[in-house]
Structure 1
Amino acid sequence: MNIKVVRGNPTPEELAAALAVVRARAAAAAAAPSGAEPPKDAWSDPSRIATARVPAPGPTSWTRTYWPS
């Protein structure tokens, strides 16, 4: 594994901390079963907003906008 510092001048301690994080993430990814889906974050889950009723276009749809009045 090769890591290249592109910008900045990290101290040896900062570089060691960054490499520890990269190695831990690589080990976790290697230990995960193949084909396993990563856990979804609640904020990025599309089903979270799919339950809300969206106003349908119509003659009075401008009155049902989401803009505060």
Structure 2
Amino acid sequence: MQINARVNNLLDEDFTSYSTSYTDLNGDGEYEYLTGRGVVSEGTFTDDYNVKDKCRNFWIGVTAFF
């Protein structure tokens, strides 16, 4: 008999990182980040590694050999 255990993300850290790039869409020399209905943002946020780790979780398994 074999017992397995695993803990993912023991310290419950957030490993998500983002890059931000700006484009001056209206050519006014300023970068605007406005939110709201009908407003276009001049900032783009990109997930660097597409890491979508979950919060802390535990796994326990048992394997029986005959």
TM-score range, shorter chain: under 0.3
Which structure has the greater CA radius of gyration?
1
Per residue, is there more helix in 1 or in 2? 1
With the length of structure 1 as denominator, give the TM-score of the two structures.
Answer: 0.17
Per residue, is there more strand in 1 or in 2? 2
